[in-house]
Structure 1
Amino acid sequence: MASPAYTFSPVLQEFEIPVADYLKSHTSLTGGLVVSALIFHHFDDGSRRILLIQRAATDGFPLKWEIPGGAAEITDKSVFDGVCREVLEETGLKVTKILRKADTKDEWEGRRGGRWRKITFVVEVEGSEDRKKTPKVKLSPEEHQDFGWVTLEEIENTRFEDGTEIEFAYEKQRGTILGLF
């Protein structure tokens, strides 16, 4: 396997395997695997924000907010490659480091059957080393129509600074974000 374009903590080695192998070793997951990424940006003043993206009005969960992610594909070389692909497809950002895994257990029965699992990773992206400006996001308009770099206070209050409500696609995701902020 070629060397990936990202680095990761050695404690996460179990995810540097093909998605097909991950699913074979977790036989209860008959639906599939979903991966998502918490992308923080740290500023010189010590503050930090997280990237949220708003689903398109024409997509599932219209106009709801979430973090980047989606289904890991059997063709992904690894679970990490699935995360990197999803982040790139949805935000135009390139993952450079996978720092840790969220300590959550998120499994459910799919609408069309099958058991699914979601794994959320904290990642860094290209451009995150510049603490004066946020990385440039380029959304995929078929899936998402807006984005915001939000503070912990905005997540807690489910409101942007301007008072606009942040309605999450999945309330459990808000808890995951709060747990890692």
Structure 2
Amino acid sequence: MATDPSGRPPPTFNLTYPPSLEAYNTPAAAYLATHSKPWDGLATAALVFDSRGRILLLQRAAHDSMPNRWEPPGGAADPTDASLLVACARELWEEAGLEAVEVVRVVSEGPGEEPGTVFTNRTGTLVWCRFAFEVRVKTDEVVRIDPEEHQDYVWAEESEVSSERIGDREIPVTNGQMMRLILDGFRRRREEGTREERRIVEG
């Protein structure tokens, strides 16, 4: 497992999560085997909100695909990840230096939509599915970004995400799928709250 952007070794992730997320407490290979989907791999995205209800967005590096656009931390689930929940925590650690302590819920592209956003790689040769989770982190952590992947970060309110603008600054989101996932994260926080009991996964 890689270090965070400042070189710190990864923690052992002791994540709490509600029973409704048990289906994601499994490695990517096992999930693919049991769901019989025509996907080549799985990816995750971590929706992290601060105490003011703003979401963390990272700006993609100018030399990367979709340059200068904004997205939540996330990436591909690795074969060594104990589960999709741990994969989400690992990617958050590697891309933003934040340690996840709780996976709150899975989000979708909107009301009535099932979780899981299907997309292709940049060459169109592989099909992936991304699961986005709301994640809580240690409150004393500081965002640290990897300049090889991202060049800046912001905390954005829902209206700022929708307008893709914070004041005079434009913050274009990577694509429509990601925009819908982010906005569904805001919606679910308002409508669902946090009511379920919690379980623990280590990885």
TM > 0.5 fold call: yes
- What is the alpha-carbon distance in structure 2 between the residues aligned to residue 96 and residue 178 of structure 1? 22
- What is the alpha-carbon distance in structure 2 between the residues aligned to residue 103 and residue 64 of structure 1? 21
- What is the alpha-carbon distance in structure 1 between the residues aligned to residue 165 and residue 39 of structure 2? 37
Q: Establish whether residue 21 from structure 1 lines up as the match of residue 30 from structure 2.
A: yes
**Does the aligned pair in 1 maintain the 2:13–2:100 contact within 8 Å?**
no
**Does the aligned pair in 1 maintain the 2:39–2:129 contact within 8 Å?**
no
**Does the aligned pair in 2 maintain the 1:42–1:49 contact within 8 Å?**
yes
Flag structure 2 segments of 5+ consecutive residues without an equivalent. Answer: 1-11, 110-115, 187-203
| Cross-structure match for 2:117 | 106
What is the CA-CA distance between 1:108 and the residue it aligns to?
2.9
**Does the aligned pair in 1 maintain the 2:16–2:103 contact within 8 Å?**
yes
Q: Give matches, 1:112-151, under 5 Å.
A: 112-127=124-139, 135-151=141-157
What is the CA-CA distance between 1:28 and the residue it aligns to?
2.0
- What is the alpha-carbon distance in structure 2 between the residues aligned to residue 18 and residue 88 of structure 1? 18
What is the CA-CA distance between 1:180 and the residue it aligns to?
2.0
Flag structure 1 segments of 5+ consecutive residues without an equivalent. Answer: none
1:31 to 36, 40, 43: 40
Task: Give the number of equivalent residue pairs.
Answer: 168
1:60 to 17, 40, 65: 65
TM-score of the pair, normalised by structure 1? 0.86
What secondary structure, in the 3-state scheme, does the structure 1 residue paired with 2:90 have?
helix
**Does the aligned pair in 2 maintain the 1:52–1:67 contact within 8 Å?**
yes
- What is the alpha-carbon distance in structure 2 between the residues aligned to residue 145 and residue 180 of structure 1? 24
Identity percentage of aligned residues: 36
Letter of the aligned partner of 1:53 in structure 2?
A: L
- What is the alpha-carbon distance in structure 2 between the residues aligned to residue 109 and residue 27 of structure 1? 18
- What is the alpha-carbon distance in structure 1 between the residues aligned to residue 176 and residue 148 of structure 2? 23
Cα RMSD (Å) of the superposition? 1.7
Letter of the aligned partner of 1:86 in structure 2?
A: E
- What is the alpha-carbon distance in structure 2 between the residues aligned to residue 114 and residue 71 of structure 1? 12
TM-score of the pair, normalised by structure 2? 0.77
2:162 to 153, 156, 160: 156
